[in-house]
Amino acid sequence: MGNLRLMTDYTVIDGLFGELLAVSQPYLTKAEAVEVQGLLDQAEYQAALETFVHIFIEGGKSATEHVFSLLFRLSGLMGMPMDDTLQSIPRLR
């Protein structure tokens, strides 16, 4: 049963990343989206999340509440406490 849970989690994580990329498309360059997608294609989920957050912080990009919600959900599902880091991303009003 543990393997089924793991597969379900990664299915959910894949879906959330897909949604995150879709709603973030207006804020990402083509190269940034390709970089994150490449990590996802290799199942490098933690690196993909770290890269995504880095793109927003280093690029001075603001995020919508929907993007924040997805980032917090992904970090929680993957056991990556990033609350302080995520809070440093400016919020769109």
| Per-residue pLDDT tens digits for 36-91 | 999 999 999 999 999 999 999 999 999 999 999 999 999 999 988 888 899 899 88
Between residues 7 and 15, the one the model is more confident about: 15
Residue 4: the pLDDT is 43
pLDDT computed for residue 19 by the predictor = 97
Instruction: Flag whether pLDDT at 2 surpasses 50.
Output: no
* Alpha-carbon separation of residue 12 from 4, 16, 17, 18, 73 (angstroms): 12, 6, 9, 10, 10
Residue 91's pLDDT is 87
> What is this structure's pTM?
0.86
